[in-house]
């Protein structure tokens, strides 16, 4: 597959944009380097690049595009918003509609606030938790990624681990001291950390279902124990649902049927983003009334935003949730996911390629290893060279994956059985041609 124009554009981009990309996870550094593909158009599950090649897309823009690209209902909502002015700086009625839509699906949130990205949403939940508890430390989990604000970029997963940057430069040691990182799915490790720092801990922050070192479920009883233990030290539970909200069902991880008693896994604060913006920039956070009332103008914790709640993002979000609320949406994603998982596993067995597939509904991750992947250490301990080969062999057959062994594949409602079958055929070919 020829990608001459992508190569030429990358050379130009390098002159003007740092690293040629506007987010490091878009670079091909983790898969052997070189020019990333410059896309020109996206429709449904299909990407077309600047050289005219087409690809079945499993990146879904790192998650938000669950309806497929340029979904007509969302496109219409954005067009309508654009025609009435995209930014007001005043309250609008649609913000209330959207807040109610989110609260109905995720009842742990009495009040919400819209921001512009997942990073902002997470960053603010930390400030609010600190304001509410009067404490400063945060406990997080190895490999969970919570955006690029200072505090949570210590021992993060996803982009930073792919690029081999354990801690970002530019973060003062005094800030790094405020965060404690423990392994995911290990309740004893959390208990130890709380034993030591519990009285100083404002919150325990977690991706309740992980999307940043592959798709990883908490072990049965783990989240329940985490919530109970955290509260016994007077700390708050923050869920980062930036990937997981509306990913597995019409609701969040905290309301997902994998957790039989939702009251036992309910967080105090929730951060969201990605899907809820229908592809436009958005973030949101919410939680219990008395905690959220810490936020200005009601309380002393300050958070603001010129673009926050802009009519374009809110319209896209409302429209996206309307699409997702249609009956059968998640059954469809689950069926496609099952078909893809079965096909990949079978093809790997056929070619004796060690492969572990983790899947939750329409999101899955491929790990080149024999062992299960239940935490970050296990996800790191997989064959990156195999993934890089696989990634390139898939790309050359028109299958677009995220260029990192830690990122998930996301199915959308625009994918078809034929797309999935073509992907499996491509994987057969890739496995047959990998050096292993």
Query: What residues are labeled active site?
Result: 145, 240, 274
β-pair type (269-273, 236-240): parallel
- State both tokens at 240: 């980062």
Q: Rounded to the nearest whole angstrom, what is the least distance from the CB of residue 3 to ligand PMP in the complex?
A: 26
Among 6, 119, 255, 374, binds ligand PMP (CB under 6 A): 119
Q: Rounded to the nearest whole angstrom, what is the least distance from the CB of residue 157 to ligand PMP in the complex?
A: 9
Q: Rounded to the nearest whole angstrom, what is the least distance from the CB of residue 160 to ligand PMP in the complex?
A: 11
List the beta bridge partners of residue 357.
Answer: 366
369: cis peptide before it, omega within 30°? no
Q: Is 114 in the site for ligand PMP (CB under 6 A)?
A: no
Per this entry, what is the length of the chain? 436
Interface region with ligand PMP, contact rule CB under 6 A, candidates 141-149, 256-264, 360-368, 387-395 = 141-149
Minimum CB distance to ligand PMP smaller for 145 or for 259:
145
- State both tokens at 266: 């309910």
CB-side neighbour CA atoms (13 Å) of 129: 32
Minimum CB distance to ligand PMP smaller for 108 or for 212:
212
Of residues 197, 158, 159, 206, the one with CA closest to residue 178: 197
Minimum CB distance to ligand PMP smaller for 58 or for 62:
62
Minimum CB distance to ligand PMP smaller for 178 or for 241:
241
Minimum CB distance to ligand PMP smaller for 265 or for 427:
265
Which x/- pattern, by CB under 6 A, does the window 232-251 give for ligand PMP?
--------x-xx--------
Q: What b-and-e string marks burial along 58-94, b requiring 16 or more CB atoms within 10 Å of the CB?
A: bbbebbbbbbbbebeebeebbeebeeeeeeeeeebeb
Among 6, 27, 46, 117, binds ligand PMP (CB under 6 A): 117
Q: Is 161 in the site for ligand PMP (CB under 6 A)?
A: no
Of residues 280, 287, 307, 201, the one with CA closest to residue 241: 287
Q: Is 317 in the site for ligand PMP (CB under 6 A)?
A: no
Minimum CB distance to ligand PMP smaller for 117 or for 133:
117
Give residues 15-74 in contact with ligand PMP (rule: CB under 6 A).
62
With CB under 6 A as the rule, give the number of residues binding ligand PMP: 15
Give the whole-angstrom CA distance, residue 316 versus residue 420. Answer: 27
Q: Is 266 in the site for ligand PMP (CB under 6 A)?
A: no
> What residues contact 430, with CB distance under 8 A and at least 6 apart?
389, 390, 393, 394, 397
For residue 95, the surrounding DSSP H or E stretch is helix 93-105
Of residues 22, 21, 75, 23, the one with CA closest to residue 44: 75
Contact between residue 365 and residue 214 where contact means Cβ atoms under 8 Å apart: yes
Q: Rounded to the nearest whole angstrom, what is the least distance from the CB of residue 243 to ligand PMP in the complex?
A: 5
Instruction: Report residue 261: phi and psi, to 5°.
Output: -115, 100
Q: Is 275 in the site for ligand PMP (CB under 6 A)?
A: no
Contact between residue 272 and residue 283 where contact means Cβ atoms under 8 Å apart: yes
Interface region with ligand PMP, contact rule CB under 6 A, candidates 44-52, 74-82, 140-148, 411-419 = 140-148
Q: Is 146 in the site for ligand PMP (CB under 6 A)?
A: yes
Give the whole-angstrom CA distance, residue 215 versus residue 154. Answer: 21
Q: Is 316 in the site for ligand PMP (CB under 6 A)?
A: no
Q: Rounded to the nearest whole angstrom, what is the least distance from the CB of residue 326 to ligand PMP in the complex?
A: 25
> What residues contact 147, with CB distance under 8 A and at least 6 apart?
117, 118, 119, 120, 121, 122, 123, 242
Among 147, 208, 214, 286, binds ligand PMP (CB under 6 A): 147
Minimum CB distance to ligand PMP smaller for 53 or for 212:
212
Q: Is 212 in the site for ligand PMP (CB under 6 A)?
A: yes
Minimum CB distance to ligand PMP smaller for 202 or for 271:
271
Binding site residues, ligand PMP, CB under 6 A: 62, 117-119, 122, 145-147, 207, 211-212, 240, 242-243, 273
């Amino acid at each position: 597959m020829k990608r001459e124009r992508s190569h030429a554009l990358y050379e130009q981009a390098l002159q003007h944009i740092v690293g040629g990309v506007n987010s490091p996870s878009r670079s091909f550094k983790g898969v052997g380097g070189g020019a990333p593909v410059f896309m020109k158009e996206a429709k449904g599950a299909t990407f077309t690049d600047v050289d005219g090649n087409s690809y079945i897309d499993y990146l879904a823009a790192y998650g938000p595009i669950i309806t497929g690209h340029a979904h007509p209902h969302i496109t219409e909502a954005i067009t309508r918003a654009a025609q009435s002015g995209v930014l007001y700086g005043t309250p609008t009625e649609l913000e209330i509609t959207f807040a109610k839509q989110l609260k109905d699906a995720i009842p742990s949130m009495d009040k919400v606030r819209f921001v512009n990205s997942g990073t902002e949403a997470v960053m603010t939940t930390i400030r609010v938790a600190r304001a509410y508890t009067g404490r400063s430390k945060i406990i997080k989990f190895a490999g969970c990624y919570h955006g690029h604000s200072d505090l949570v970029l210590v021992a993060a997963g996803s982009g930073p681990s792919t690029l081999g940057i354990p801690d970002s430069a530019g973060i003062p040691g005094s800030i790094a001291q405020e965060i404690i990182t423990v392994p995911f799915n290990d309740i004893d490790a959390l208990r130890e950390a709380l034993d030591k720092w519990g009285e100083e801990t404002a919150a325990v922050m977690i991706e309740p279902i992980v999307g940043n070192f592959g798709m990883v479920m908490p072990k049965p009883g783990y989240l329940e124990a985490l919530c109970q233990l955290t509260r016994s030290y007077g700390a708050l539970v923050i869920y980062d649902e930036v990937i997981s909200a509306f990913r597995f069902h019409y609701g969040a991880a905290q309301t997902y049927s994998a957790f039989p008693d939702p009251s036992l896994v309910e967080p105090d604060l929730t951060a969201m983003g990605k899907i809820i913006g229908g592809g436009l920039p958005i973030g949101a956070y919410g939680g219990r009334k008395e905690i959220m009332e810490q936020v200005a103008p009601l309380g002393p914790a300050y958070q603001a935003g010129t673009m926050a709640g802009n009519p374009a993002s809110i319209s896209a979000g409302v429209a996206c949730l309307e699409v997702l609320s249609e009956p059968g949406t998640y059954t469809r994603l689950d069926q496609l996911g099952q078909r893809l998982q079965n096909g990949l596993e079978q093809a790997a067995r056929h070619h004796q390629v060690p492969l572990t597939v983790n899947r939750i509904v329409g999101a899955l991750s491929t790990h080149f290893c024999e062992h299960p992947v239940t935490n970050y250490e296990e996800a790191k301990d997989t064959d990156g060279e195999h993934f890089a080969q696989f990634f390139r062999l898939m790309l050359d057959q028109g299958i677009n994956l995220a260029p990192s062994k830690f990122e998930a594949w996301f199915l959308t409602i625009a994918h078809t059985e034929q797309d999935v079958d073509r992907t499996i055929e491509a994987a057969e070919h890739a496995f047959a041609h990998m050096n292993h």
